[in-house]
Amino acid sequence: MELDKDLSARQEARTLARAAESAQRILGEMPQEKLDAIVEAVAKAFEKEAFSLAEMAVRETGFGNVEDKTTKNLFASRQVAQAVRGMKTVGLLRQEPGLWEYGVPVGVIAAIVPSTNPTSTVCYKAIIALKAGNAIVFSPHPKAICCTRQAVQIVAEAAERAGAPKGSVSCLTIPVLAGCQELMAAEPVRLILATGGPGMVKAAYSSGKPAIGVGAGNGPAYIHHSADVSRALARIIRSKTFDNGTVCASEQSIIVEKALEERVIAEGKRQGCYFMNPEEAGRLAKLLFRPNGTLNPEIVGKTAIFLAEKSGFSVPRETKVLIAREQEAGPARPYSMEKLCPVLAFFVMDNEEAVLEKCVEVLTFEGSGHTFAMHAEDEGVIRRFAAKIPVSRFLVNTPAALGGIGATTALFPALTLGCGAVGGSSSSNNISPLDLINLRRVAWDKEKSEEKPASMDTGLVEMLTEKILQRLEKQLPTEGNGIP
In tens, the pLDDT along 427-450 reads 999 999 999 999 999 999 987 655
Q: Exposed e or buried b for every residue in 89-106, given b needs 16+ CB within 10 A?
A: bbeebeeeeeeeebbbbb
Q: Note the pLDDT tens digit of each residue in 144-170.
A: 999 999 999 999 999 999 999 999 999
Q: Note the pLDDT tens digit of each residue in 60-86.
A: 999 999 999 999 999 999 999 999 999
Report whether pLDDT(392) > 70.
yes
Report which of 220, 236, 218, 219 is spatially closest to residue 228, judged by C-alpha positions. 236
Cβ atoms within 10 Å, residue 352 = 15
Q: Note the pLDDT tens digit of each residue in 252-280.
A: 999 999 999 999 999 999 999 999 999 99
Mean of all residue pLDDT scores within the chain: 93
**278-282, 345-349, 399-403, 421-425: the lowest-pLDDT one:** 421-425
Report the DSSP pairing between strands 437-443 and 273-275. Answer: unpaired
Contact in structure between 121 and 147 (CB atoms under 8 Å): no
> In the beta sheet, which residues pair with residue 287?
none
Q: Note the pLDDT tens digit of each residue in 18-27.
A: 999 999 999 9
* Rounded mean pLDDT, 349-365: 97
* Rounded mean pLDDT, 101-106: 98
Question: Domains of the chain by range and CATH?
Answer: 2-214+432-440 (3.40.605.10), 220-399 (3.40.309.10)
Band the pLDDT of 483: cuts 50, 70, 90. Answer: very low
Please tell me the predicted confidence (pLDDT) of residue 302.
97
Band the pLDDT of 417: cuts 50, 70, 90. Answer: very high
**195-209, 219-233, 308-322, 336-350: the lowest-pLDDT one:** 195-209
Band the pLDDT of 462: cuts 50, 70, 90. Answer: low
Ordered strands of the 321-325 beta sheet:
273-275, 321-325, 343-349, 253-257, 220-223, 369-375, 391-396
Contacts of 374 (CB under 8 A, 6+ apart): 221, 222, 224, 382, 385, 394, 395, 396, 397
Contacts of 158 (CB under 8 A, 6+ apart): 41, 42, 44, 45, 46
Q: Exposed e or buried b for every residue in 142-152, given b needs 16+ CB within 10 A?
A: ebbbbbbbbbb
**30-34, 363-367, 381-385, 479-483: the lowest-pLDDT one:** 479-483
205 CA to centre of own chain:
17
- d(CA 471, CA 448) in angstroms, rounded, equals 38
Report whether pLDDT(325) > 60.
yes
Backbone angles phi, psi at 421, to 5 degrees: -60, -35
Please tell me the predicted confidence (pLDDT) of residue 207.
85
Report which of 440, 72, 26 is spatially closest to residue 246, judged by C-alpha positions. 72
In the chain, what percentage of residues exceed pLDDT 70? 92
* Rounded mean pLDDT, 404-426: 95
In the chain, what percentage of residues exceed pLDDT 90? 86
**19-28, 201-210, 391-400, 420-429: the lowest-pLDDT one:** 201-210
Question: Could you write out the DSSP letters of every residue in 397-415?
Answer: SS-HHHHHTTSSSSS---S
Task: Locate all alpha helices (DSSP H) within 28-144, ordered by sequence.
Answer: 32-48, 50-61, 66-74, 80-84, 120-131
Please tell me the predicted confidence (pLDDT) of residue 463.
62
Amino acid at the residue 465:
T
Please tell me the predicted confidence (pLDDT) of residue 470.
65
Please tell me the predicted confidence (pLDDT) of residue 202.
80
The dihedral built from the CA positions of residue 113, 114, 115 and 120, taken in this order, carries a sign that is negative
Determine which one of 123, 171, 180, 248 is catalytic. Answer: 248
- d(CA 469, CA 484) in angstroms, rounded, equals 11
Catalytic annotation on 147? no
Band the pLDDT of 216: cuts 50, 70, 90. Answer: confident
DSSP 454: P
Band the pLDDT of 466: cuts 50, 70, 90. Answer: low
* Rounded mean pLDDT, 23-39: 98
- d(CA 332, CA 105) in angstroms, rounded, equals 45
| 3-class secondary-structure state, position 225 | coil
Report whether pLDDT(98) > 60.
yes
Report the DSSP pairing between strands 253-257 and 220-223. Answer: parallel
